[in-house]
A and B are shown apart, each in its own frame.
Chain A
Amino acid sequence: MTPHNLPAEPNRFVGRARDVAELGTLVRQHRVVTLSGVGGIGKTRLSLRVAAQAAPWFSDGVWLVELGRIGDSGLIVNEMAEVLGVRDEIPGRLLDGLRVRLREARALILLDNCEHLVERCAQLVAGLIAECPCLRFLLTSREPLRIPGELVWRVPPLELPDADHPDAESVLLFVERAAAAGAREVTASMADIVRLCRALDGLPLALELAAARTSLLSPGRIADRIGNRFGLLTLGDRTAPPRQRTLLATVEWSHDLLQPKERVLLRRLSVFAGLFDLGLAERVCADGGILRKAELLDLLSGLVDKSLVLHHDARGRYRLLETIRQYAAERLAEAGEDARLRDRHLRVICEEMERCYEGGSLDRRMPWSERFPHFVRGRGLLDDCRIAVDWAVESRDPVLGLRLARAALSILAVRGDLGESVGWHERLLALDLSAVPGDLIAVAKGGLAYGLEVGDELARAEELIVQAVEEQKKHPYTHWLGITYNVALTVFFRTGQSERALRYLEELEAAASAHDDLFNLATARIAQLNLALFRGQVRYARRRGEEALALARESGHHWTLARALTHLGAVAEADGDLEAAMAHHTAALPLLEDMDNRVELARCHAKIGRVAAGLRDYAAARRHLAAGLALSRQSGQRRGIVRALMALADLAQAQDDLEGAVLAAAAGTALRESIGQYGTPGRVQQLLAPARARLGEGRVALLWARGMDGSPEEVAARVLDSDLAAAPPFGPPAPAGSRYGGLTCREQEIAGLLTRGLSNRVIALELVISPATVAKHVANIMEKLGFTSRAQIAVWAAEHGLDADHQAAREADIERA
Chain B
Amino acid sequence: MDERIVIVDSGTGLTLTEEQLDERSAVAIVQLRRRGVRVGDTVLICLPVGPDLLVAADAVIAVGGVAWPVPADLDACVLQERIQASGARVLISDLPQALEAAEESRVRIVMSVADLHSYPNSRELSTQSDRIVPSASGG
Contacts and interface: CB of A to CB of B under 8 A. Distances in A.
Interface stretch (A364-372, A484-492, A771-779): A771-779
Nearest to B19: A759
A630 B16 CA distance: 55
Contact of A783 (B33, B61, B102, B109): B33
Given A148-B131, A156-B107, A786 B25 contact: no
A155 B34 CA distance: 18
B45 interface: no
Interface in B92-139: 102-110, 119-132
Interface string A9-46: 00000000001001001100111100000000000000
A156 B108 contact: yes
Contacts of A130: 128
A30 B2 contact: no
Interface residues of B, number: 46
A150 B4 CA distance: 37
Interface of A: 19, 22, 25-26, 29-32, 129-130, 133-134, 147-157, 159, 241-243, 729-730, 757-762, 772-773, 775-776, 778-779, 782-783, 786, 788-790
Contact of B127 (A19, A149, A154, A156): A149
A498 B96 CA distance: 71
Nearest to A730: B124
A123 to B, nearest CB: 16
Given A151-B127, A775-B25, A775-B58, A788 B2 contact: no
A644 B119 CA distance: 42
B105 A149 contact: no
B62 A242 contact: no
Contacts of A760: 18, 21-22, 25
B40 to A, nearest CB: 12
Contact of A757 (B2, B33, B108): B2
B103 A241 contact: yes
Contact of A782 (B30, B106, B126): B30
Nearest to A772: B62
B64 interface: yes
Nearest to B1: A757
Contacts of A155: 108
* Centre residue among A147, A154, A241, A782 by max chain B CB count within 10 A: A154
Interface of B: 1-2, 4, 18-19, 21-23, 25-27, 29-30, 33-36, 58-59, 61-64, 102-110, 119-132
A149 B26 contact: no
A773 B62 contact: yes
Contacts of B23: 789-790
Contacts of A156: 105-108
Contact of B130 (A30, A758, A783, A790): A30
Given A30-B127, A775-B58, 13 more contacts: A150-B127, A154-B108, A759-B2, A759-B22, A760-B22, A760-B25, A773-B62, A776-B62, A779-B62, A782-B26, A782-B119, A786-B123, A789-B23
A147 B129 CA distance: 10
Contact of A778 (B4, B22, B124, B128): B22
A662 to B, nearest CB: 32
8 contacts: A29-B127, A152-B109, A154-B110, A760-B25, A772-B61, A778-B22, A779-B25, A782-B119
Nearest to B132: A148
Contacts of A147: 131
Given A31-B128, A153-B108, A156-B108, A790 B18 contact: no
Contacts of A151: 35, 109, 127, 130-131
A73 B60 CA distance: 41
Contacts of B108: 19, 153-156
A447 B23 CA distance: 66
A775 B103 contact: no
A775 B25 CA distance: 7
Contacts of B4: 759
Contacts of B63: 776, 779
A624 to B, nearest CB: 33
Contacts of B36: 22, 25-26
Contacts of B121: 788
Contact of B30 (A22, A26, A30, A779): A779
Nearest to A758: B2
Contact of B119 (A729, A757, A788): A788
Given A151-B109, A762-B2, A790 B26 contact: yes
A149 B129 contact: yes
B26 to A, nearest CB: 4
A242 B104 contact: yes
Given A156-B106, A759-B2, A783-B33, A775 B127 contact: no
Contacts of A159: 106
A762 B3 CA distance: 13
B131 A29 contact: no
A505 to B, nearest CB: 56
A199 B103 CA distance: 18
Contact of B34 (A29, A129, A152): A29
A261 B127 CA distance: 51
Given A133-B124, A758-B2, A775-B59, A149 B131 contact: yes
A159 B108 CA distance: 13
By Cβ-Cβ distance, the 3 closest A-B pairs, closest first, are A779-B29, A772-B62, A775-B62
Contact of A776 (B29, B125, B132): B29
A524 B137 CA distance: 71
Given A29-B34, A29-B127, A759-B19, A152 B106 contact: no
Contact of A31 (B27, B106, B127): B127
Contacts of A730: 124
Contacts of B109: 151-154
A154 B29 contact: no
B135 to A, nearest CB: 13
A729 B64 CA distance: 31
A154 B107 contact: yes
A26 B31 CA distance: 12
Contact of B58 (A149, A242, A772): A772
A730 B107 CA distance: 30
B23 to A, nearest CB: 6
A25 B4 CA distance: 39
Nearest to A29: B34
Contacts of B18: 759-761
Given A148-B132, A757-B1, A32 B30 contact: no
A154 B101 CA distance: 13
